[in-house]
Each structure stands twice: as C-alpha cells, then as structure tokens.
Copies of this chain bind each other. A is one copy, B any other.
Amino acid sequence: MAAKRSGGQSKQSERKVPPPSGPEPRSEQPLSLERIVATAVELLDSEGIDGLKMRRLADCLGAGAMSLYWHVGNKEEVFDLALDSVLAYRGPVPIDASQDWRGEVVHMLKDWRAGMLRHPWSAALLPRRALGPNILARLELLSSTLSRAGVADADLNVAIWSLWNYVIGATTTRASFDLSDDDRAAAQQRLTSLSQHYPTIERSRLLLDNDWDGAFSKGLDFLLDGLVPKQ
C-alpha cells in the first residue's frame, strides 16, 4: 500500500518583492505556487471540477496560460496541491486534551468531513490522489489517539482503515448526492414508482431523509462502538 503520483516538485524559488509600494493595483503581483493553488481552489469552489481549465486559471491570475507550467508540472499537480491545501487540521480546542479520546476522534473526523463538504470537489478528488502531508498528519493523529485509547497494535491497521473508509465513503456520497429540490422531487417520484421492487428502501426513507449530518454521527458512533467496545 502507498500513494500514487511521482513526486513532482517543480522549479521556482523565492523572489524579490517589487519595491514596497502599498497594495498593488491587483493582478500584477508575480505568480507563485501559493497564489496558483489559492486561485485554483476558488475556481474549483465556484465552477466545479470540470471548470478548472489551465487557461481559465491563468486568466484569473492575470497571467499567460503557459506561465503556470513554470510553477507546476501539469494539471494533475494542481489538483493534488488544491486537495491537500484544503485538508489542513488545526486540532480541537486544547482544553479537553488527552482525556476524551473518543471526542477527539469524532471531532477530527467531523472536521475532516466538514472541510471536504465545504469544497465538494475535494471528495471526488481524494481517492485518486497521493497522501499529502495534511492527510498523513490526520492519519497520524488518528493512529496515536486510538493507540492511546487501547487499540492493540495488531488492530490499529484495521481500525484506521475502517474509519478512513467510512469518512471517504460518506463524503464522496454526500458530495455527489447533494441535489436541488427539483432533482430530489424527481428522484422521489421515480423511486415510489418502483416501490414494489424496493419496498424496504422506501420504508426506510433511504433516499429521502435529508439528515446527512445526523446519519454520519450515528454511524460513526456505531463504528467506534465496534472498534473499541465500551468496557
């Protein structure tokens, strides 16, 4: 197991500031990896995953299309960087430190999910990408917390992957099933018209219940119950 993508690391270095003349008249400051990634995130937020074109991104930056390729190896790398930039984690309020392991885990995973739903494109991107430093940091936090909570080293692997799977599955699903009301109405109609084939699905209101957050929390509790049985 490990991550894909051949480490890119394109050129570029620090640059002399243009003689400090107050806030530039916008869009004339030099290109930089940070600016590129930040703008890519904005673009992804507003236009979605297919809305990110190299030319468009360059336009938003007030640059020529090919200028981006000095800072970035290819479009894929832009995706990688945008994804990891969105997954930074500052940790919980440090008050309840180290007492409540379960609270910490839940907090981090909820924050993870929330962050990805704030940038829905990230959910679709995650499975295909490398493990960036922010993701690894979260996994490390998860590992150490669970270890402190008493999960045996032999089970740690399974525990982490189970939680990972749960979060990934939940966010990708949620991100792609977030519909307009019209869509929802159409889907409801379609489903009831097929209700003789799927009676239990209908009874459970599987596709109609909108309480994604609650479902995520409850399911996470169940999973944690299984992983670390209450003594």
Using a CB–CB cutoff of 8 Å, the interface residues on chain A facing chain B are 1-4, 7, 123-124, 127-129, 131, 136-137, 139-140, 143-144, 147, 153, 155-162, 164-170, 172-173, 175-177, 179, 183-184, 186-188, 190-191, 194, 197-201, 203-210, 212, 215, 218-219, 221-227, 229
Contact = CB atoms under 8 A, between A and B. Distances in A.
18 contacts: A2-B188, A3-B207, A136-B194, A136-B201, A137-B197, A139-B201, A156-B200, A156-B204, A156-B206, A158-B222, A160-B204, A161-B219, A164-B173, A165-B166, A165-B219, A167-B169, A222-B227, A223-B226
A186 to B, nearest CB: 7
B208 A1 contact: yes
A223 B219 CA distance: 9
Contacts of A229: 225
Contacts of A4: 176-177, 179, 183
A129 B188 CA distance: 17
Contacts of A168: 165, 168-169, 172-173
A209 B164 contact: no
Contacts of A155: 218
Nearest to A2: B187
B176 A1 contact: no
A231 to B, nearest CB: 14
A55 B176 CA distance: 28
A167 to B, nearest CB: 7
A172 B186 CA distance: 28
Given A2-B183, A223-B162, A204 B128 contact: no
Contact of A179 (B1, B191, B221): B1
A219 B172 contact: no
A27 B123 CA distance: 41
Contact of A139 (B128, B205, B206, B223): B206
Contacts of A186: 2
Contact of A140 (B137, B190, B197): B197
Which of A123, A128, A155, A219 has most chain B Cβ within 10 Å? A219
A201 B23 CA distance: 44
